[in-house]
Structure 1
Amino acid sequence: MSYVNPSELAKKMIDAGEAKVFMSTRDTLIRAYMAGAILSLAAAFAVTVTVQTGQPVVGALLFPVGFCLLYLLGFDLLTGVFTLVPLALIDKRPGVRLRGVLRNWGLVFVGNFAGALTVAVMMAVIFTFAFSVEPSAVGKAIGKIGESRTVGYADHGAAGMLTLFIRGVLCNWMVSTGVVAAMISTNVSGKVIGMWGPVLVFFYMGFEHSIVNMYLFPSGLMLGGNFSIADYFIWNEIPTVVGNLVGGLTFVGLTLYATHARTAAPRRRPAAPATPATSAPVAEDVPALVQ
């Protein structure tokens, strides 16, 4: 059968987290680099489609192609390891320690950022003919995204920071749901269907994804966006990373672990009411026999 039941799914999630903890540094970095690069290309594609059609929903409908590709190829995003890797620690898998979890997160962050930055430079070259002309319409749109989602939050102070954090939480609630939904199926079509919907929701709703932002904001700085590197990290990347961690681990990883891997004992069934015994008729009730 192509469907994996929830209890088996929970075990697959823990196994996946354990495998990532013990993955070599080389493989972790390569897989993270490629994940960041592919997702960044998908983001550039989605922004291009949105600008050219004037319909954000079209870009959102097409963006998940990058997410599906990187997942099927076995590459790793920070948002996914935020959800899966801690489960191996919580489940007390042999040899899994907190420092191993943090090591994995750190390596994946570096790899994702390097991949996204590579694509940001490449796309900036394309949008400006190697910085020899003004950015194209798509390039200008990316610059505006960088402004609105950094200084745009800063203009609202603490309320802006809270909004940014919550958007990060909601983002990885959806993205990690897509990661887990892909594990429910054992065939490619089922995995793609499971991933596509949640990722579409996050992108169309404008939630904050730390790896997508690793592409959008450095690219925006290169394309004339009116914000600084400090604005990017303080008013986007750092709060988004924290929100992604909370959203993926709390609303996806821990909830599935708690109810399917560590299912609580069922409530005791109430005892069935006793059926009263049928009593034999007393002598007075038996008609006298005719002599």
Structure 2
Amino acid sequence: MSYVNPPDFVGKMIDAGESKATMSTRDTLIRAYMAGAILALAAAFAVTITVQTGNALLGAVLFPVGFCLLYLLGFDLLTGVFTLVPLALLDKRRGVTVRSMLRNWGWVFLGNFAGALTVAVMMAVVFTYGFSVDPNEVGQKLGEIGHSRTVGYAEHGAAGMLTLFIRGVLCNWMVSTGVVAAMMSTSVSGKVITMWMPIMLFFYMGFEHSVVNMFLFPSGLMLGGDFSLADYLVWNEIPTVVGNLVGGLAFVGLTLFATHARTGKSRLMLPDDVAAAQPAEKREGANA
């Protein structure tokens, strides 16, 4: 599998964050657009499998194919840049500023949304024969998902909003672990295996991924879901984005950076080290 040690792959994380923060707008948008489109296709694939087989676990097991493809192709998801770019800022990499970080996040968000929306329109056409008939079984399921994961949260008020936020945190804890996992190996098979596990976990557990939702909810609206655009934004997308930011940065990026890039001093000191750490006058008294 060609395993890469944590201090080494954390260095790769910081390098990746620097590269993304300083990337041209053109390249950022292209890579984000393709990432959103591929992840949307994977979500459509997983929902289709779940509906046709009645087995949600099988859909979750196969969903990571899209995630693995987009990362092997070098495309960018909002959930990944939330975790990687701040590390380059903390490491004081040249050209990485708060402004460049926010710029990257903004363009990646727009690119992901455009890619996911493109696939949402295409799949809505497929599920309805160009909007000439009612949605098929998979299309109806997409409408139901949109309703349950917007209005369903709203029915619980503040408790629903808290649940939505926590699901967003848990999601990017796992998704960003998948992003980092790709850096733990130098072989394609190793990268795929390590990415697959956390992505499968987040999808099966029903955690909230901002980019996946950029496909699920617009397609649900087009396919007759009983919720509104405002429901989608207020009771899903915005809280999910915030939760994804907190989850990826707090539980993956900052923890790895703190313990592997900014490692604390060891408590085990050799005798020579102890002597060197003593005040000069104490060392002179010991030598007298």
TM-score range, shorter chain: over 0.9
User: Who is 1:253 aligned against?
Assistant: 253
User: Who is 1:187 aligned against?
Assistant: 187
Runs of 5+ in structure 1 lacking a partner?
Answer: 272-291
CA distance in 2, matches of 1:55, 1:101: 40
What letter is aligned with 1:250? Answer: A
Q: Provide TM-score, normalisation by structure 1.
A: 0.92
Question: Could you report, residue by residue, the CA deviation over 1:21-60 in whole angstroms, capped at 9, with x for unpaired residues?
Answer: 1100000000000000000000000000000000000000
Question: Could you report, residue by residue, the CA deviation over 1:228-286 in whole angstroms, capped at 9, with x for unpaired residues?
Answer: 00000000000000000000000000000000000000003487xxxxxxxxxxxxxxx
User: Who is 2:274 aligned against?
Assistant: none
User: Who is 1:99 aligned against?
Assistant: 99
User: Who is 1:279 aligned against?
Assistant: none
What letter is aligned with 1:102? Answer: L
User: Who is 2:162 aligned against?
Assistant: 162
Runs of 5+ in structure 2 lacking a partner?
Answer: 272-288
Superposed, 1:126-165 pairs within 5 Å as 126-165=126-165
Superposed, 1:1-291 pairs within 5 Å as 2-269=2-269
Instruction: State the Cα distance separating 1:181 from its structure 2 match.
Output: 0.7
Question: Could you report, residue by residue, the CA deviation over 1:72-112 in whole angstroms, capped at 9, with x for unpaired residues?
Answer: 00000000000000000011112211000000000000000
CA distance in 2, matches of 1:168, 1:162: 10
Q: Secondary structure at the match of 1:23?
A: coil
What letter is aligned with 1:229? Answer: L
Question: Could you report, residue by residue, the CA deviation over 1:170-223 in whole angstroms, capped at 9, with x for unpaired residues?
Answer: 000000001101100011000000100000000000000000000000000000
Hey, which bits of structure 1, 4+ residues long, moved more than 3 A?
Answer: 268-271
CA distance in 2, matches of 1:39, 1:142: 15
What letter is aligned with 2:184? Answer: I
CA distance in 1, matches of 2:55, 2:255: 35
Q: RMSD value over aligned CA atoms?
A: 0.9
What is the number of equivalent residue pairs in this alignment?
Answer: 271
CA distance in 2, matches of 1:6, 1:65: 25
Q: Secondary structure at the match of 1:92?
A: coil
Greater helix fraction, Structure 1 or Structure 2? 2
What letter is aligned with 1:244? Answer: N
Q: Secondary structure at the match of 1:68?
A: helix
Q: Secondary structure at the match of 1:59?
A: helix
CA distance in 2, matches of 1:13, 1:213: 26
CA distance in 2, matches of 1:86, 1:231: 30
CA distance in 2, matches of 1:51, 1:73: 29
Report which of the two structures shows the higher radius of gyration computed on alpha carbons.
1
